[in-house]
Amino acid sequence: MPRPRVLSGVQPTGALHLGNWLGAIRNWVALQDSHDTYFCVVDLHAITVPHDPARLAEDTLTTAALYLACGIDPQRSTVFVQSHVSAHSELAWLLNCVTPLNWLERMIQFKEKAIKQGDQVSVGLLDYPVLMAADILLYDADLVPVGEDQKQHLELARDIAQQRINARFAPRDAAGEPIPVLKVPEPLILKDGARVMGLTDGSSKMSKSDPNEGSRISLLDPPELITKKIKRAKTDPTMGLEFGNPERPEADNLLGLYALLAGKSREQASQECGAMGWGTFKPLLAEAAVEALRPVQERYQQWRQDPGAVEAVLRDGQAQAATVAEETLDRVRQALGFLPRS
């Protein structure tokens, strides 16, 4: 039996933060033992909002190096850059032509991002989930580990595969049974860490696009900066940390962060911090964050010290990914009835 396949990716827009790590990348690491894992840096997604061409390449390398620093092992995983495998753009076009426009207009993330941008919204921003579906479907992924915010995009990828491709274009075997063209993927959203909130507002998620740097902890923030951001994080006037009180989103978020970063269960964290004031809790949380990120930052520096090392990983990844992706793309082209390429 071949191992089940996993695919996921993060956009190279600004430094990755604790939400990306705890919600997504941390879960990728464990899957390497049991699954056939593909992780891409989704640079084509990064240009769906206005971007700086002088930074894109560097941010792509930084993101790839952070995957490696977080424990993605190039011996066990295929690590690559989305735009290096042209099948992603090509399958996205084919899927575009079978995806109803109103499926995309309903996407929550599109609506949120479109509101922020006013009349500057590109067709690419609307089409973003179709490109994401192409990323996943090209690799016949069984499982897609992501944070909670990507759930709707995953459902869209499933619907496109099932209803728009397999149901309409599957070839038949000798007995007349349909042979699915695309594998229908499942999301993997772990409860803990799936939605990390910002430090300056416990009711909005930690995000790369928040203009306030103090709202997020980046994986490469130096210890003093981490401590400063946590010191300034929003609190409330109540004594003691607790989970699940809807009046106290900051307490819930920061206690959850503490549990994850210190490697403790939620029960342990509640017990330990239940009676603490904010002034005692915050230094504890800061220390847990600094210690959790220390090994990531050290490994990051090691990868970046050798100038060609990350590029070499990405070159191998491109070759491996392209082989798998081209095969799937061929299957879709055939199912849609294109004249075969010679």
* Minimum distance, C-beta of residue 190 to ligand TRP, in the bound complex (Å): 14
Cα-based angle 83, 87, 90 (whole degrees, multiple of 5)? 100
Do 48 and 125 touch, CB atoms closer than 8 A? yes
- Is residue 220 a contact residue for ligand TRP (CB under 6 A)? no
Sign of the C-alpha dihedral, residues 112, 113, 116, 120? negative
- Is residue 72 a contact residue for ligand TRP (CB under 6 A)? no
Report the alpha-carbon distance of residue 264 to residue 165 in Å, rounded: 44
Sign of the C-alpha dihedral, residues 258, 261, 262, 264? positive
Query: Out of 45, 158, 164, 282, which residue is the one contacting ligand TRP (CB under 6 A)?
Result: 45
Which one is catalytic: 151, 183, 208, 264? 208
- Is residue 83 a contact residue for ligand AMP (CB under 6 A)? no
Q: What is the enclosing helix (H) or strand (E) of 18?
A: helix 18-20
Report the alpha-carbon distance of residue 132 to residue 140 in Å, rounded: 13
Do 50 and 120 touch, CB atoms closer than 8 A? yes
Q: With CB cut-offs between 5 and 8 Å by kind, which of ligand AMP, ligand TRP, none does residue 135 bind?
A: ligand TRP
CA 71 to chain centre: 15
- Is residue 8 a contact residue for ligand TRP (CB under 6 A)? yes
> Using alpha carbons only, how large is the chain's radius of gyration in Å?
21
- Is residue 146 a contact residue for ligand TRP (CB under 6 A)? yes
Q: With CB cut-offs between 5 and 8 Å by kind, which of ligand AMP, ligand TRP, none does residue 7 bind?
A: ligand TRP
Binding span for ligand TRP by CB under 6 A among 4-12, 168-176, 188-196, 329-337: 4-12
- Is residue 210 a contact residue for ligand AMP (CB under 6 A)? no
Whether 205 is catalytic is yes
Which x/- pattern over 18-37 shows residues binding ligand AMP (rule: CB under 6 A)?
Answer: -xx--xx-------------
Closer of 144 and 196 to ligand TRP (Cβ): 144
Query: Out of 5, 6, 7, 220, which residue is the one contacting ligand TRP (CB under 6 A)?
Result: 7
AA identity, residue 107: M
Q: How many residues does the chain have?
A: 342
Query: Out of 150, 200, 215, 253, which residue is the one contacting ligand TRP (CB under 6 A)?
Result: 150
Which x/- pattern over 125-164 shows residues binding ligand AMP (rule: CB under 6 A)?
Answer: ---------------------xx-xx--------------
Binding span for ligand TRP by CB under 6 A among 2-10, 97-105, 255-263, 293-301: 2-10
Binding span for ligand TRP by CB under 6 A among 53-61, 145-153, 168-176, 274-282: 145-153
E-strand stretches of the chain: 5-10, 36-41, 77-81, 143-145, 186-188
Whether 116 is catalytic is no
Structure tokens, 175: 């007995």
Task: Print the SS3 string covering 78-136.
Answer: EEEEHHHCCHHHHHHHHHHCCCCHHHHHCCHHHHHHHHHHHHHCCHHHHHHHHHHHHHH
Q: Which residues contact 125 (CB under 8 A, 6 or more apart)?
A: 48, 49, 110, 113, 114, 117
Whether 111 is catalytic is no
- Binding residues for ligand AMP, how many (CB under 6 A)? 16
Query: Out of 10, 64, 233, 296, which residue is the one contacting ligand AMP (CB under 6 A)?
Result: 10
Site for ligand TRP in 11-40 (CB under 6 A): 11
Closest of 82, 36, 43, 73 to residue 60, by C-alpha:
43
Binding site for ligand TRP (CB under 6 A): 7-9, 11, 42, 45, 132, 135-136, 144, 146, 150, 153
Catalytic residues: 113, 205, 208
